[in-house]
Chain A
Amino acid sequence: GIQVEQSPPDLILQEGANSTLRCNFSDSVNNLQWFHQNPWGQLINLFYIPSGTKQNGRLSATTVATERYSLLYISSSQTTDSGVYFCAVDSGGSNYKLTFGKGTLLTVNP
Chain B
Amino acid sequence: GENVEQHPSTLSVQEGDSAVIKCTYSDSASNYFPWYKQELGKRPQLIIDIRSNVGEKKDQRIAVTLNKTAKHFSLHITETQPEDSAVYFCAASYPAAGNKLTFGGGTRVLVKP
Partners in one complex: no
